[in-house]
Amino acid sequence: MSQRCFLDPVYTELFSHAALVRPLVQGYVDSSIVEELKLSTLRLYPGHFMPVGHQDWLSDIVWQVNLKTGTPCFVEILLCLQDCMDPVLTELHVLTHTYSLLQHHIEAENLGEDDKLPFLLPLVLYEGTEPWRQHTSLRDLMPPFAQKYCPTQKYFVIDVPQLTEEQLAQNPSLASAFFRLERAREPEEIRQLTAWVAPLLQEEHCQTLRRPFAEWLDGVVCARAHCQGQIPAVQELLEPDPLLEQKGPTE
């Protein structure tokens, strides 16, 4: 099986679960932003806002979350293909995605000229083999005299392959386990990580994440290490959950 990338639908499915997105934001986004968010209110926002022609290297999942003041805002998770290293296109595509989402929100909420727009956090997950070297604001690409006339939106990048062991150890969470497994290439390492993550996936708030996470483990992580179907803990996670089947899908 060829190596899967972040544009594979399996990743979109994984980041459509609050049980993975919540520790991702808590552990890897600037703490000054996290402190303003009420992450218990995370809810998936319907629809995709990637303009036509951008889907070949970016995929998006949008979450709505309340600020602690009660005001709703958005977290845009953009999954970035490893070959997208054009700094100008990156800035423009992120800006275009934000514009599309804001336009949809304005129309859906029937906002008027006296209404304020919500805060949006574009969060880029990047899996390239080369470190992310782009600027994270369009105005940084402009000459100094023109910068004050340019859009100033910034975005936050998580360069997955460049995360250090120290960074991962500081955030012992399901998100950190995902990043470790995404980089794992040896069966023994996968066994150890799966043994650590399996109890987390058994918790009630991870019920709907358990199956897609296990399918990703077996079909992507284990397949990449040539041990698909060979790790008992992964196979146990793939077994149907009777309680979940009785309850049906939940948020």
Q: Are residues 80 and 154 in the same domain?
A: yes
Q: Are residues 198 and 86 in the same domain?
A: no
Residue 19 lies in a domain: yes
Residue 222 lies in a domain: yes
**Quick one: three-class SS letters along 121-174?**
EEEEEECCCCCCCCCCEHHHHCCHHHHHHCCCCECEEEEHHHCCHHHHHHCCCH
Instruction: Look at residue 251 and tell me whether its pLDDT is greater than 80.
Output: no
Chain segment 169-194, per-residue pLDDT in tens: 998 999 999 999 998 999 999 999 99
Residue 170 lies in a domain: no
Domain count, the chain: 2
Q: What percent of the chain has pLDDT over 70?
A: 86
Instruction: Look at residue 93 and tell me whether its pLDDT is greater than 60.
Output: yes
Q: Which of 6-10, 63-67, 111-115, 169-173 has the lowest mean pLDDT?
A: 6-10
Q: Are residues 158 and 230 in the same domain?
A: no
Instruction: Look at residue 250 and tell me whether its pLDDT is greater than 60.
Output: no
Q: Are residues 156 and 194 in the same domain?
A: no
Q: Taking a C-beta distance cutoff of 8 angstroms, is the pair 6, 197 a contact?
A: no
Residue 148 lies in a domain: yes
Residue 94 lies in a domain: yes
Chain segment 133-159, per-residue pLDDT in tens: 767 777 777 888 888 887 777 888 898
Give the confidence band of 249 by pLDDT, cuts at 50, 70, 90: very low
Q: Are residues 154 and 192 in the same domain?
A: no
Q: Are residues 198 and 150 in the same domain?
A: no
Domain range enclosing 241: 184-251
According to the model, what pLDDT value does residue 154 have? Answer: 81
Q: What percent of the chain has pLDDT over 90?
A: 51
Q: Are residues 71 and 152 in the same domain?
A: yes
According to the model, what pLDDT value does residue 32 have? Answer: 94
- Among 164, 195, 226, the domain-final residue is 164
Q: Are residues 120 and 228 in the same domain?
A: no
According to the model, what pLDDT value does residue 86 have? Answer: 62
Q: Are residues 123 and 156 in the same domain?
A: yes
Q: Are residues 154 and 188 in the same domain?
A: no
Chain segment 41-71, per-residue pLDDT in tens: 999 998 878 766 555 556 789 999 999 999 9
78 forms beta bridges with 60, 124
Residue 236 lies in a domain: yes
